[in-house]
Amino acid sequence: MTKKSPINKTISVIIPVFNEQENLAWLHDKVAKYLADRDLDFEIIFVDDGSNDGSLAAMKQLHTQNPKTVRYLALSRNFGKEAATSAGLSAVKNDAAIIMDADGQHPVELIDTFLELWHAGNDVVVGIRTSNINEGFVKKYGSKLFYAMLKVIGGKTAVAGTTDFRLIDRKVIDSFNQLTERNRVTRNLIDWLGYQRVEVPFEAAERHAGQAAYSFQKLLKLALNGIVSHSTRPLKVIALLGLLISTLSAILGVVLAAQKYIFGDPLGLSVTGSALLALFVTFLVGIVLVCQGLLALYIESVYYETQNRPLYLIKESS
Ligand code: UDP
Ligand code: MG
């Protein structure tokens, strides 16, 4: 069955790979067969992220067998999925890129919907994971907790389940390639870029073969990074907390001291000197927190400067 797309466009499928030797040929056949039926030119770019199994050899073989449709890049060591994806994106010359995992968890069948929405004028088509059949307890609830935290801390309505499985248009790729920050979470950065965006829910499949490489530690790092690089609200919360502590302890201290020393303890509280001292110390702790928050705001502005993101991005012009 041939699905005709309105214009003959070219797309690149970017697949970051870390120790996926049993998945590559299988996934390649699936994707290549699927896309060959569509009226578009495609290529698959495998990015080997320093695998220590036969993944690189497998992609070389796929490239030899399909020199026109398969390309590969090999990073010098394991830099992480985010870096691997960026490497893939900077190698794309086509009209759009689709990013997908090598393990088959991202359903190839969704690509038709991605393409349709792209042809309809969307620049970023995002796969939203509704459920994961074989997700571990920690990961499942960890990610729920993360999004709840992000909402509170980051003050953003982050979409739960947002993934790297997405299609992005040429102009978004060009904008992405302008970003220079080192600590990056690809999906957050693409969302930061803006442009016409649409979401598509999907159910993540089980891994075809092998084991997920993301350890709890790596995920935690990714989560912290996601919060820190996109929100400075935690810094402001510290300063506000300090202000609250100082104000409350100051009021309480003044009221109690006046009650005891000026009015001669009419309430019969017999507040001791050390209680007042404790209040004074609390007051000072609050002041320290406020100062820390202020310092943090300076660091924030330095941080944003060093991220060196483009000041703006132009969607179109006459
Ligand atoms: N991956 C990578 N570098 C890494 C870890 C993972 O390129 O350091 C790739 C991996 O080969 C897969 C994708 O990133 O294509 C998602 O990894 P995984 O399946 O381990 O994570 P999860 O499904 O738990 O998100
Ligand atoms: Mg996976």
Strand partners, 129: 202
Give, for ligand 1, the residue of 47, 206, 214, 217 to mutate: max count of ligand atoms closer than 8 Å to Cβ: 214
Would you call 195 exposed, middle or buried from its count of C-beta atoms within 10 A (0-12, 13-18, 19+)?
Answer: middle
Query: pLDDT tens, 183-216?
Result: 788 888 888 888 888 888 888 888 877 777 667 7
CA–centroid distance, 130 to ligand 1, in Å, is 19
CA–centroid distance, 24 to ligand 1, in Å, is 13
Q: Two tokens at 259?
A: 């009650």
Per-residue pLDDT 10s for the chain (318 aa) are 445 445 578 999 999 999 999 999 999 999 999 998 887 889 999 999 989 999 999 999 999 999 989 999 999 888 889 999 999 999 998 999 999 999 888 999 999 999 999 999 999 999 988 865 556 666 667 777 777 776 666 555 556 678 889 999 999 999 999 888 877 888 888 888 888 888 888 888 888 777 776 677 777 777 777 777 666 777 778 888 999 999 999 999 898 888 888 888 888 888 888 888 988 999 999 999 888 888 888 888 888 788 777 767 666 667
Q: What are the C-alpha distances in Å from 268 to residues 234, 263, 279?
A: 42, 11, 19
pTM of the model: 0.70
Question: Ligand 1 site: residues with CB under 6 angstroms?
Answer: 16-18, 20, 49, 78, 80-81, 84, 101-103, 105, 212-214
Helix ranges restricted to H, 197-272: 216-228, 233-257
Helix (H) or strand (E) holding 147: helix 137-154
**What residues flank ion ligand 2 with Cβ within 5 A?**
103, 105, 212
Q: What are the C-alpha distances in Å from 34 to residues 10, 112, 124, 269?
A: 15, 9, 21, 80
CA–centroid distance, 236 to ligand 2, in Å, is 36
Rg (CA), the chain: 27
Ligand with the closest atom to the CA of 101? 1
CA–centroid distance, 205 to ligand 2, in Å, is 9
CA–centroid distance, 101 to ligand 2, in Å, is 6
